[in-house]
Amino acid sequence: MSKANQNQPADGSANGKISEKGQEILQRVSHEGLLISLIALFVYLMLALLSYSSSDPGWSSTGMSGEAIHNLAGPTGAWLSDRLYSWFGNLAYLLPVILVYQALIQFRDRNKPFTLDWMLIALRFTGFILVMVSATGLASLQFYDAEQSLPFSSGGLLGEEIAAATEAAFNRIGATILLLAILFFGCTIFTDISWLAVMDFLGQLVLTAYDKAGDYVRNKRIEKEEKHIAEQAQKERKAAVEIKSQKQLEKKPPKITPPVITPPKPSVRAQKEKQGTLFETAVTGELPKLELLDKASENQDTGFSEESLEAMSKLLELKLQDFGISAEVVSVQPGPVITRFEIQPAPGVKASRISNLAKDLARSLSLVSVRVVEVIPGKSFVGIETPNEKRQMVLLREVLASEAYEKAKSPLTFALGHDISGQPVMADLAKMPHLLVAGTTGSGKSVGVNSMLISLLYKATPREVRLILVDPKMLELSIYEGIPHLLTPVITDMNDASNGLRWCVGEMERRYKLMAAMGVRNLAGFNRKIEEANARGEQIPDPLWVPDPMVLDVENQEAPNLDTLPFIVVVIDEFADMMMIVGKKVEQLIARIAQKARAAGIHMVLATQRPSVDVITGL
């Protein structure tokens, strides 16, 4: 290789070629320079055209000698604006518009290579000539400058010549049609606009507007018909009432069902019990005393007075009337937390219309929220539930002391609280057969779980229900440490929790084998068979028992007798935390218990703040 070749630069600049970086700089400078030039020329032309004065010296007039130039663009601007107005008239403003259009194109294509396509430039220039010729001709043909503010007509000298030539050849109407055709054709060449696409777009707008107008008219007609039907039905009902009796013209006040101020009817157990200790009952196997729980305050505020409820009923009717709904409040049921107004809508009024007004009614009545119950079982009314100003405290003792809780036969009965009328609400875990308690912090999960556990302790003895409590937070369930219902101490270590669940799966399999050998289908049938045998004085040996080969006297070994099996309830206070620590270990165990453990009498209560798919996997 020669010295000349060795000293030649790698980028090829010695051969007169521009490097790639230099080409990029050249492209950017070309785009930006052309863009700045177009904007500057646009500003100068607009300034010259807007400040045009016929007294300034220009192309068509010499002006007054010694007089100052009024044009803000100076003598050049005065001469240029006079020449443009003389040639093109008012169409002179098309030139700045075209400059802005070209500047926008340059800004849009600033990242593209800067090229000069002379064929395209010639085509665009041809389109520009056609636009100017046709537009100036139309301006001179159709518009007249009454104020004579321009040197010549609205289309300038060019427009006058074009208008005169076309009008002489085609008459005024024919000349207008011809010039319009040339104008549209010139716009197509200059801007690449497609008039067919414009027509499609306008047609789509018209069709959309037509559809919306049709829907609006249709909805208005339906509303008008519904209103007419409701008014007719209301007139007929009023006429029937007047014919039947003049005494019924005066509206009856709504029937107010007084709230349950006193606790529900106490059970026999609640009437007989006296103060006792929890430890004595644990020894004897009896149930805890109700005296251990707090008693409801006697001076607790019971809610609204009868006069307030009547006033609220009238206000509710007026607000519904404001929204075009005729309805009558026929009954009011105040409860410890909410009050239900049962209304009778006028014939033809749909319940969905009232439901759609829930937020508006809440705003009109100055309430936080309003719930509309469209269907009340056994009634033809629509319910509107409003929150009470002062909520009554619902204590667990009131529910546990009720006759409904006492008569519940299932040992897995949960006391949940009161309904809107103040009556106790129960639930049977055996029918669920598992329960998921979910909610954010402070929503009452722990209160609910503790109420359920206390319900079990007050309903079932350790022979009937046994508990496995898992408490990752080590705070909520530690108070139950030492009660006789526990199969194991309260579990706070998650590794121990996986062992406890594994034991539950093994116990479930053992119980299924026992029930299969006994010919029963569930735990209740198994216990019933054992109790019937005990009542007859018979003992049923364990069919799954296997003699211990390590004992010397193998032949004299006897199978142990079967006894009733308790329900097993597994309570996990924070399920998401356990899944985060030992998720893989317990995922399959929980899935097996959830799918198969109902007949074996094993049930789960899971509490979590995050009931998402990564926590409740379900396999």
Tell me: do 413 and 475 sit in the same domain. Answer: yes
Domain that holds residue 563: 397-541+558-608
Q: By mean pLDDT, which of 16-30, 211-225, 307-321, 499-513 is the weakest? A: 16-30
Confidence category of residue 513, pLDDT binned at 50, 70, 90: very high
Tell me: do 38 and 91 sit in the same domain. Answer: yes
Q: How far apart are CA 557 and CA 534, in angstroms?
A: 22
pLDDT, tens digit (0-9, with 9 covering 90-100), for 230-257: 888 777 767 655 554 454 445 556 666 6
Confidence category of residue 586, pLDDT binned at 50, 70, 90: confident
Q: Which of 181, 198, 215 is the last residue of a domain?
A: 198
Query: What is the CATH number for 373?
Result: 3.30.980.40
Average pLDDT over residues 415-426: 83
Average pLDDT over residues 131-156: 72
Task: Report the predicted TM-score, pTM, of the whole model to 2 decimal places.
Answer: 0.53
Within-domain flag for 272: no
pLDDT, tens digit (0-9, with 9 covering 90-100), for 392-420: 788 888 888 888 888 888 899 999 888 87
Q: By mean pLDDT, which of 108-112, 391-395, 408-412, 421-425 is the weakest? A: 108-112
DSSP conformation letters of 337-378: SEEEEEEEEPTT--HHHHHTTHHHHHHHTT-S--EEES--TT
Q: What percent of the chain has pLDDT over 90?
A: 19
Tell me: do 467 and 387 sit in the same domain. Answer: no
Tell me: do 181 and 46 sit in the same domain. Answer: yes
User: Is the previous residue joined to 433 through a cis bond, with omega within 30 degrees of 0?
Assistant: yes
98 pLDDT more than 90: no
Q: Which of 392, 410, 427 is the last residue of a domain?
A: 392
pLDDT for res 279: 35
Q: How far apart are CA 437 and CA 32, in angstroms?
A: 66
Structure tokens at 384: 């509107």
Tell me: do 33 and 172 sit in the same domain. Answer: yes
Tell me: do 181 and 164 sit in the same domain. Answer: yes
Tell me: do 124 and 165 sit in the same domain. Answer: yes
Within-domain flag for 376: yes
Confidence category of residue 454, pLDDT binned at 50, 70, 90: very high
Averaging pLDDT over each range in 21-35, 154-168, 477-491, 600-614, which range is the top one?
477-491
Tell me: do 403 and 370 sit in the same domain. Answer: no
Within-domain flag for 576: yes
Residue 99 neighbours by CB distance under 10 Å:
20
Q: Which of 326, 357, 392 is the last residue of a domain?
A: 392
3-state secondary structure of 172: helix
Residue 475 neighbours by CB distance under 10 Å:
11
Half-sphere exposure of residue 250: CA atoms within 13 angstroms, side-chain side: 2
pLDDT for res 147: 45
Q: Regarding predicted confidence, which is higher, 147 or 310?
A: 310
Q: How far apart are CA 498 and CA 558, in angstroms?
A: 34
Within-domain flag for 124: yes
145 pLDDT more than 60: no
pLDDT for res 456: 92
Average pLDDT over residues 167-183: 85
Average pLDDT over residues 69-90: 78
432 pLDDT more than 50: yes
Tell me: do 454 and 377 sit in the same domain. Answer: no
Within-domain flag for 373: yes
C-alpha closest to that of 161 among 79, 97, 169: 169
pLDDT, tens digit (0-9, with 9 covering 90-100), for 567-582: 999 999 888 888 888 8
421 pLDDT more than 80: no
Q: Are 604 and 504 in contact (CB under 8 A)?
A: no
Averaging pLDDT over each range in 17-26, 436-445, 521-530, which range is the top one?
521-530
Within-domain flag for 509: yes
Q: How far apart are CA 53 and CA 529, in angstroms?
A: 117
Q: Which residues are CB-neighbours of 60 under 8 A, at least 6 positions away?
A: 82, 83, 86, 151, 152
pLDDT for res 8: 46
* Mean pLDDT of the chain, nearest integer: 79
Query: What is the CATH number for 431?
Result: 3.40.50.300
pLDDT for res 242: 58
pLDDT for res 80: 82
C-alpha closest to that of 434 among 422, 459, 460, 452: 452
Q: Are 502 and 593 in contact (CB under 8 A)?
A: no
Cα separation of the two ends of the chain = 73
Average pLDDT over residues 77-89: 80
Tell me: do 65 and 38 sit in the same domain. Answer: yes
114 pLDDT more than 70: no
DSSP conformation letters of 175-232: HHHHHHHHHHHHHHHHH---HHHHHHHHHHHHHHHHHHHHHHHHHHHHHHHHHHHHHH
Within-domain flag for 3: no
63 pLDDT more than 80: no
229 pLDDT more than 80: yes
448 pLDDT more than 80: yes
Q: Regarding predicted confidence, which is higher, 302 or 105?
A: 105
Tell me: do 221 and 180 sit in the same domain. Answer: no
Q: Regarding predicted confidence, which is higher, 348 or 192?
A: 348
- Alpha-helix runs per DSSP H in 245-296: 268-272, 278-284
pLDDT for res 193: 74
189 pLDDT more than 60: yes
**What is the count of structural domains for the chain?**
4
Tell me: do 503 and 370 sit in the same domain. Answer: no
Q: By mean pLDDT, which of 120-124, 241-245, 394-398, 603-607 is the weakest? A: 241-245
Q: Are 437 and 457 in contact (CB under 8 A)?
A: no
552 pLDDT more than 70: no
CA angle centred on 245, ends 244 and 246, rounded to 5°: 140
Within-domain flag for 9: no
